[in-house]
Structure 1
Amino acid sequence: MSEQVLKVFVVDDDPTARMLNMLQMQGVDVDIREFADGDACLAAVGDAPDIILLDVEMPGTDGVAVCRRLRAAGLTNAEIVFVSAHDDLETRLAAHDAGGNDYVVKPYAKADLVARIEVAKRTIRARREVAEHVQLARQRGTADMPAPSDMGVLMAFLWDAAFCQTVDDLGLAFCNALKQYGLHGLVDLHDARDSHCYSSQGRLTALEASILDHVRGMERVFQFHDRLAIQYPHTTLLIPNLPPVDHERASRLHDHLMVLVGSAEARFSAMLGEARCRAPAPHVTDAVAELARTLKETAAATHGNPPADRLRKAAAEVVSQFGNRQYAGE
């Protein structure tokens, strides 16, 4: 059975931009429709598009408002990719808050657009598979477990974090804690070389990754309306939409999130330290490499000389112990 061809809506008031998008998607197995404004797109919502390329700035109903109305109308499974000439954090947050999945800055290359379409296609396929599994679980009578208390969530995370052996284990444990609190959040565990990003909703969207990139480096605690960001040297937490709760629970959640981020920072910093301890010091690595080169150069000259052979074998064992086995048997 062949896969269903996905429907793509291209929504932009600029006819040149629409034509360029359609040309760039030539060769991609999708069914494309174009719309000159947001209202025309909203009128066609009954056609159930799978992917929407949505311009942010349009006369009349702008892209953010269109996205919000599409989600409110029940179009929850479509992948909405915003296109904009703006690369600022506030526009990205507005797109995310409205329900966007991705964000691409104009002008963009064909490869960039096609890559985002392919990501959206894989996401849609994965979502359909998950929906099938959920339906199967419901048919088998799977029941939800009762939610633990806020303090229970915190204690469980502190216990789990202490035994996390990988960055992924820690990121997933953090996201699980956020879900137990009833929160959606984005977590970034990073050092000077790598960044490991996670979402409590499972797959981290490209838009969410770009938001984390913009948030990283802000002040330690930043809260604006329903958005909360907590920063440590190696750990960033962003809660894009804090739910409306009573003052007492809001204060408790704030305190718990500070502890969660601090605990994740401590465990991740320990992981970085453990990795540094396992890695040989640079001067040791250089010395072993030099010894390996010397062994290779003198192997032929010392062959048949018992004292030299014994010395060479001892040196080769040193090289072997440090993981450079290239010359260990020579």
Structure 2
Amino acid sequence: MSNLLPELLIVDDSSIDLTILKEMLGNNYQFNEAENGAKAVELCLSGSCSPSVILLDVSMPKLNGYETCIQIKEILGFEHVEVIFISGNDSIEEKQHGYEAGGSDYLTKPVNPEELRQKVRLAVERGQQRKSSEAQSKTALDAAMTAMMDAGEQAGVIHFLRDSFGCKTLEDLAQAIVTATSNFGLSNTVQIRTSSDNITVSSNGACPPLEVEMLTSLRNIGRIHQRGKRLILNFGDISQLIKNLPDDDAKVGRLRDHLAIILEGAESRADALLAVDEMKKLLKDTEESICHIQTFEKSQKGKT
């Protein structure tokens, strides 16, 4: 088998289910197998496998899928590995549990072959994008950190508030928030919701489906909600997830204040952009109505 094929680790206490998953995925991957969570952790610690994606059964004896994922994510080099949970329970509480454990996606039993192939393919692509993004971000982050040390953290906030007035679309605004937050050394994802669409932008490139779902479901949890190294901020229709708060409590306090100011400014700019869009729509509708009236009047004159 070619070493260029992406490597997968499948963890399932059922040898039948394990075989079925491999058959569904075909010959497009290199496979590693573990019949329980402990074996999976041992395999990752041994250095004999470096999977791009881990397919992890949730319901296993002794060490369940969530516990296994947490232990694997603590291993050096496996912090960002893509984990897809497989479970017979598809409740939002169960998915949130999976997200908190470090999962990036979720499959419900019985597994649909096409859905499995698509989710694995997208997970592999996200991993590749993340590695590329990390390499590019290192240089940018070094430069940004130097700039912050010279000008101070407040300069980043002021810079965003000034630049936000140049944002012509909500997509531009979401990217501006992500960039400003990344300059503080924070990995983050921003979601802006409208009546017709959800715009999601991540500093890590492609955003995992579970992360998008968590941002949407936690929009009513409160304005600022911290849990460990993660922080959720909700300002109007804008939500932001911070994934790597520092250990320094004083710095966390400053960052929370800076981010609150950034999102308050972003909320005002988003309202202005939406108002402009509504005005443009109103003007367009008015012009169309006038055009229809004029056409009608001409047709009536032609009849007289």
Same fold, TM exceeding 0.5?
yes
Counterpart residue number, 1:37: 36
Counterpart residue number, 1:188: 191
How far did 1:241 drift? 4.6
1:276 is the counterpart of 2:254: no
**Residues 291-316 of structure 1, C-alpha deviations (whole Å, 9 max, x = no match):** 69869x96xxx9xxxx96xxxxxxxx
For structure 1, which segment, 155-164 or 177-186, has the greater mean C-alpha deviation from structure 2 after superposition? 177-186
Counterpart residue number, 1:49: 51
Matches within 5 A, 1:1-330: 4-26=4-26, 29-45=28-44, 46-71=48-73, 72-76=75-79, 78-87=81-90, 91-127=94-130, 144-145=143-144, 146-148=146-148, 149-246=152-249, 248-280=250-282, 284=286, 287=289, 290=292
Alignment-mate amino acid for residue 62 of structure 1: N
Cα root mean square deviation, aligned: 3.5
**Residues 182-229 of structure 1, C-alpha deviations (whole Å, 9 max, x = no match):** 222221111111101122333212221121122123333333444432
**Residues 141-166 of structure 1, C-alpha deviations (whole Å, 9 max, x = no match):** x9645041221111111111121112
DSSP 3-state at the match of 2:83? strand
In structure 2, the CA distance between the partners of 1:293 and 1:35, relative to structure 1 (3 Å rule), is farther
How far did 1:121 drift? 3.0
Alignment-mate amino acid for residue 208 of structure 1: E
For residues 268 and 106 of structure 1, the distance between their equivalents in structure 2, rounded to whole angstroms, comes to 40
For residues 208 and 269 of structure 2, the distance between their equivalents in structure 1, rounded to whole angstroms, comes to 25
For residues 281 and 110 of structure 2, the distance between their equivalents in structure 1, rounded to whole angstroms, comes to 43
For residues 131 and 230 of structure 2, the distance between their equivalents in structure 1, rounded to whole angstroms, comes to 30
Counterpart residue number, 1:322: none
DSSP 3-state at the match of 1:60? coil
Alignment-mate amino acid for residue 225 of structure 2: F
DSSP 3-state at the match of 1:279? helix
For residues 264 and 253 of structure 2, the distance between their equivalents in structure 1, rounded to whole angstroms, comes to 17
For the 8 Å contact 1:234–1:269, the answer to whether it is kept is no
For residues 254 and 130 of structure 1, the distance between their equivalents in structure 2, rounded to whole angstroms, comes to 25
Alignment-mate amino acid for residue 6 of structure 1: P
DSSP 3-state at the match of 1:75? coil
For the 8 Å contact 2:134–2:204, the answer to whether it is kept is no
TM-score, normalised to structure 2, is 0.80
In structure 2, the CA distance between the partners of 1:128 and 1:265, relative to structure 1 (3 Å rule), is closer
DSSP 3-state at the match of 1:47? coil
For residues 97 and 106 of structure 1, the distance between their equivalents in structure 2, rounded to whole angstroms, comes to 21
For the 8 Å contact 1:147–1:180, the answer to whether it is kept is no
- How many residue pairs end up in the alignment? 293
For the 8 Å contact 1:226–1:242, the answer to whether it is kept is yes
For residues 182 and 219 of structure 2, the distance between their equivalents in structure 1, rounded to whole angstroms, comes to 22
For the 8 Å contact 2:186–2:243, the answer to whether it is kept is no
For residues 92 and 260 of structure 2, the distance between their equivalents in structure 1, rounded to whole angstroms, comes to 23
For residues 285 and 238 of structure 2, the distance between their equivalents in structure 1, rounded to whole angstroms, comes to 31
Alignment-mate amino acid for residue 177 of structure 1: A
In structure 2, the CA distance between the partners of 1:215 and 1:128, relative to structure 1 (3 Å rule), is closer
In structure 2, the CA distance between the partners of 1:11 and 1:285, relative to structure 1 (3 Å rule), is farther
Counterpart residue number, 1:317: none
Tell me: higher relative CO, structure 1 or 2? Use CA pairs within 8 A at least 6 residues apart: 2
**Residues 91-130 of structure 1, C-alpha deviations (whole Å, 9 max, x = no match):** 5455445443323334442222111112123234445655
For structure 1, which segment, 284-293 or 60-69, has the greater mean C-alpha deviation from structure 2 after superposition? 284-293
In structure 2, the CA distance between the partners of 1:221 and 1:116, relative to structure 1 (3 Å rule), is same
Counterpart residue number, 1:320: none
For the 8 Å contact 1:161–1:170, the answer to whether it is kept is yes
